[in-house]
Amino acid sequence: MVALRVWLSDPSPSSRGQARLGQFWLGWLRLRRNPLAVSGLAIVGALLVIAAFAPVLAPHDPLAQDLSRRLLPPFTPGNLLGTDDFGRDILSRIITGSRITLYIVGLVAVTAPFLGLLVGTVAGYFGGWTDAVLMRITDIFLAFPRLILALALVAVLGPGIENAVLAIAVTAWPPYARVARAETLTVRNSDYIAAVRLQGAGVPRIILGHVVPTCLPSVIIRVTLDMAGVILIAAGLGFLGLGVQPPLPEWGLMISSGRKYLFEQWWVSTMPGLAIFIVSLGFNLLGDGLRDVLDPKSAPK
Q: Which residues bind another protein (CB under 8 A)?
A: 9, 11-16, 18-19, 23, 26, 29-30, 33, 190-192, 194-202, 205, 209-210, 213-214, 296, 299-301
Smallest gap, in angstroms, from Cβ of residue 11 to another protein?
Answer: 7
Smallest gap, in angstroms, from Cβ of residue 144 to another protein?
Answer: 33
Smallest gap, in angstroms, from Cβ of residue 190 to another protein?
Answer: 6
Residue 75 vs 192, nearer CB to another protein:
192
Residue 128 vs 202, nearer CB to another protein:
202
Residue 22 vs 74, nearer CB to another protein:
22
Smallest gap, in angstroms, from Cβ of residue 30 to another protein?
Answer: 5
Smallest gap, in angstroms, from Cβ of residue 292 to another protein?
Answer: 12
Residue 230 vs 293, nearer CB to another protein:
293
Residue 20 vs 136, nearer CB to another protein:
20
- 3-state secondary structure string across the chain: CHHHHHHHCCCCCCCHHHHHHHHHHHHHHHHHCCHHHHHHHHHHHHHHHHHHCHHHHCCCCCCCCCHHHCCCCCCECCECCCECCCCCEHHHHHHHHHHHHHHHHHHHHHHHHHHHHHHHHHHHHHCHHHHHHHHHHHHHHHHCCHHHHHHHHHHHHCCCHHHHHHHHHHHHHHHHHHHHHHHHHHHHCCHHHHHHHHCCCCHHHHHHHHHHHHHHHHHHHHHHHHHHHHHHHHHHHHHCCCCCCCCCCCHHHHHHHCHHHCCCCCHHHHHHHHHHHHHHHHHHHHHHHHHHHHCHHHCCC
